[in-house]
Structure 1
């Protein structure tokens, strides 16, 4: 029998990422589904001051509405020269939610006068797992690097084309999906949930 686990997202790339993490960990028996595959329910606005707060709200909403275990992530980029911004505002940095090109262009313009040695940044992901009847679990993953001056690469989404991870000459958008999973902030966070997900798969 296959159990189902809801990912509180309509982003197909996030669903594929969790599927790859489960496969890499050898976890079978969990079908990963997204919000488009369950009846619509009221979603609480993401107004939390931290990635963790937003992730927990999304995961609990999904679990309560569907009765399924629900994984939710809130992620973004923290730029040293901008004192940790855009942070939780990453997806709507330019004013409209989810406009990757506009968000990236605004970030690059804000950093145009910042020298290379001060362009440090970190991708951050908080992943929450809510199981009906239990307290939610939340974990955090970080991926350090720097902001380059021009977008490069076609893979990934969000700020991937302008983020060069530590120890790399390629941006996150130039890495293969498998390379990104192995190192990324969301991959690092999801990996911490693997023991709980493995127990769910056997339940």
Structure 2
């Protein structure tokens, strides 16, 4: 938990309490339904929570924004972002029901009021959002194809609506088709830990 306070020193008491509760909740749920690699659970705050919050280093969502977390798994990046931005609505979608259940239970346990959940494939989600966020495993072009229909035309943030995803490794070729609309941020410029050496936040205006 110290690692979160180190980079986000202005948390309210409530946010502090919510972040602090995540470790026991995920450890408990992970023993029943595997949403985080068993070896990785002790790195929850660095590899999952702080990684999710990397998105907050490039945008502070305005109050009233609407954000979809696609392929949320156990609730990343959606739940950490929902704690950090209590005035923003987050809609967490995953095609695997038991993962959605874990995310729902965790959110309920910490009293998150600004999240909704849906067990569905991305293609089935028809609502409109300012941004889609994702810890993306699929290539950017596939992701953009799926979520284009979900991006609202109404603008209310400091950057145009679009996709913001967490990715690692070499992304130049993947981003090539969208190069005029893409900005990449290296998380090693934001966070000192070795884990973030190759991690990026990729933003594509849509």
TM range (shorter): under 0.3
Which structure is larger by alpha-carbon Rg, 1 or 2?
1
TM score, norm. by length of structure 2: 0.26
Higher helix fraction (1 or 2): 2
TM score, norm. by length of structure 1: 0.26
